[in-house]
Amino acid sequence: QKEVEQDPGPLSVPEGAIVSLNCTYSNSAFQYFMWYRQYSRKGPELLMYTYSSGNKEDGRFTAQVDKSSKYISLFIRDSQPSDSATYLCAMSVQGAQKLVFGQGTRLTINP
Amino acid sequence: GAVVSQHPSRVICKSGTSVKIECRSLDFQATTMFWYRQFPKKSLMLMATSNEGSKATYEQGVEKDKFLINHASLTLSTLTVTSAHPEDSSFYICSAKLNQETQYFGPGTRLLVL
């Protein structure tokens, strides 16, 4: 079993829809949770990060962490074609150097 | 957000030659940088952790004599692919650690070995 599981998709939704992206994990020591967006042939771009449980909102993006269920989510409201990309979840343990990544979900927003 | 640059963005080289890729943190100092490799439609594979002023820590299965890493300053880490072969062709991405919560990634370097 991988430490972090993420459905690779592909996920295709119409413009304006609410998108839900999710990751599950097995290591209960993870405390830092991040979402990265990666366009084709580009480096990942940090979208959101949260510490421990709870919600965080930034514009159209909301990140949720449920440590009791070992489940994190990224919601995108009013999705736009420019949101089409691969979304990677990542997490780390307190004091750790490395991030553990999910496989990434390929998302396409259709005009 | 913090900015990380990589140079070159793409490089084509002949088999047997060496290629150096630079990773710079432009607006912050990074004692720790990371080098990743990414295959098409796959996630990031960590190759090594680069610590300023000390030897890099390589992940299992990564040849340290083939992928030389130098982190001579707080804003620069380099990855040298020595005696490159076609199977080394890939997308190489670096990241720099700003703090516990965040790593910022460079735009990547596409290497093609002929």
For the stretch A48-85, pLDDT in tens is 999 888 899 999 999 999 999 999 999 999 999 999 99
Give contacts of B3 with chain A, Cβ < 8 Å.
none
Tell me what pLDDT residue A83 has: 98
Give contacts of A99 with chain B, Cβ < 8 Å.
103
Q: Tell me: pLDDT of A8 over 80.
A: yes
Amino acid of residue A35: W
Write the residue in B49, B97, B106 that is nearest to A43 by C-beta. Answer: B106
Residues B103/A46, Cβ–Cβ less than 8 Å? yes
Q: Which residue of A has its CA nearest to B91?
A: A41
Q: Within its chain, how far is the Cα of A103 from the centroid? A: 10
Residues A83-99: pLDDT tens digits?
999 999 999 998 787 89
A5 min Cα distance to partner chain B (Å):
12
Closest CA to B99 of B35, B29, B22: B29
A40, A99, A101, A106: best mutation site toward chain B, by most B Cβ within 10 Å?
A: A99
Residues A67/A76, Cβ–Cβ less than 8 Å? no
The reply to whether residue B43 touches residue A45, judged by beta carbons under 8 angstroms, is no
Q: Quote the tokens at residue B112.
A: 């093609």
Q: Which residue of A has its CA nearest to B37?
A: A43
Tell me what pLDDT residue A97 has: 79
Q: Length of chain B in residues, anyone?
A: 114
Q: Length of chain A in residues, anyone?
A: 111
- Segment A102-108 shows an average pLDDT of 95
Tell me what pLDDT residue B43 has: 87
Tell me what pLDDT residue B99 has: 80
B71, B103, B104: best mutation site toward chain A, by most A Cβ within 10 Å?
A: B103
Tell me what pLDDT residue A35 has: 97
Q: Which residues contact B113 (CB under 8 A, 6 or more apart)?
A: B12, B13, B14, B15, B84, B85, B86, B87, B88, B89
Other Cβ atoms within 10 Å of B51 Cβ, number? 18
**Rounded to an integer, what distance in angstroms lies between the CA atom of residue B19 and that of residue B65?**
13
Give contacts of A103 with chain B, Cβ < 8 Å.
42-43
Instruction: Give me the half-sphere count of Cα atoms (radius 13 Å) on the Cβ side of residue A21.
Output: 35
Write the residue in A32, A43, A102 that is nearest to B43 by C-beta. Answer: A102
Tell me what pLDDT residue B68 has: 96
Place of tokens 């002929």: B114
Tell me what pLDDT residue B2 has: 83
**Rounded to an integer, what distance in angstroms lies between the CA atom of residue A70 and that of residue A30?**
9
* pLDDT tens over chain B, length 114 residues: 689 999 999 999 999 999 999 999 999 998 899 999 999 888 899 999 998 888 999 999 999 999 999 998 999 999 999 999 999 999 999 999 988 778 999 999 999 999
